[in-house]
Amino acid sequence: MIDEGISDRTDLPFDPVTKDIVCERRADGLHFNIFQAFRHHSPTGMEWGYLGSGPADFALNILEIFVRELGEKPEVRLWDGSKITASAWRFHQAFKFSALFDLPREGGVIKGKDIRAWLKLNMDAGVYH
């Protein structure tokens, strides 16, 4: 049962230049610096530190920011009718494993430059997950 006093919040600062992703686990819930614009896998929201549905949605929302930065337009329709980019869809499970699985329980920072480098490496290699 979910404690009604605990909820996710998007209240951490977001730098539009670096686009570093920040998440924190506090007594009052999870705190992020990005909104969950897309909910596809998890009914309870974004998460990190394991390979489940919450981290999958976090990965999807992170990659969507960076893939759109590259100019890719949304074309993949999710179950709720919203659209995301094909590359965010294609790579979000691999990114979940690579960047979110080992993120400490208390949270942390994923540098925007590291996300850009990860995307370039995987897109250039034509990796498909």
16/120 Cα distance (integer angstroms): 19
| Torsion over CA: 55, 57, 58, 60 (sign) | positive
Beta-sheet pairing, 107-110 with 9-10: unpaired
Percent of the chain with pLDDT over 90: 87
- pLDDT band for position 19 (50/70/90)? very high
Phi/psi of residue 77, nearest 5 degrees: -90, 130
CA-nearest of 111, 122, 52, 114 to 88 is 122
Mean pLDDT, rounded, of the chain: 92
Q: Does residue 1 surpass a pLDDT of 60?
A: no
Token reading at 45: 């929201």
Q: For position 8, what pLDDT does the model report?
A: 86
Q: What is the pLDDT of residue 6?
A: 54
pLDDT, tens digit, 9 for 90 and up, residues 68-123 = 999 999 999 998 899 999 999 999 999 999 999 999 999 999 999 999 999 999 99
